[in-house]
Amino acid sequence: MFRRAFWFTTGAAAGVWATTKVQRKIRALAPDALAVRAADKAVEGGHKLREFALDVRAGMAQREGELKDALGLSAPLPGDRRPELPVQPDRRQLGASGPAYPIRPYDRNEDH
């Protein structure tokens, strides 16, 4: 009698455990869960890529400084001036004769 009750309880517990495992796996493979997991991985990959780009940019700046020091280019020569970029007038100052598009300075170091 006790032996049958033991095996019945063991079988019921194994059945509950297996059913729970299967239900968790089904929920994990549902389209909504897969989409959320893919989005999380994409965001994580983007963060890692941004950190890598920042590390590369910092390394480039450091190496450029080292090369300039080694070549003696860090100190400006007397009378050496960089040409200044022309200042574009404000659109309000141009009035009707100005361009119809907005004037924006060109900046290669923009972060998008």
At 60 the pLDDT is 96
C-alpha distance from residue 99 to each of 46, 81, 87, 104, 105 (Å): 38, 31, 15, 12, 15
Determine the Cα–Cα distance for residues 98 and 15; give it in Å rounded to an integer.
79
Instruction: Give the CB-side neighbour count of residue 8, counting CA atoms within 13 A.
Output: 5
pLDDT < 70: residue spans in the chain: 75-112
Radius of gyration of the chain measured on its C-alpha atoms: 33
Q: pLDDT tens, 74-93?
A: 766 666 666 665 666 555 55
Please answer whether residues 89 and 98 qualify as being in contact, where contact means their C-beta atoms are separated by less than 8 angstroms: yes
At 1 the pLDDT is 82
At 5 the pLDDT is 93
C-alpha distance from residue 42 to each of 36, 49, 103 (Å): 10, 10, 35
**What's the pTM value of the predicted model, to 2 decimals?**
0.44
At 83 the pLDDT is 60
DSSP state of 97: G
Please answer whether residues 103 and 91 qualify as being in contact, where contact means their C-beta atoms are separated by less than 8 angstroms: yes
DSSP state of 89: P
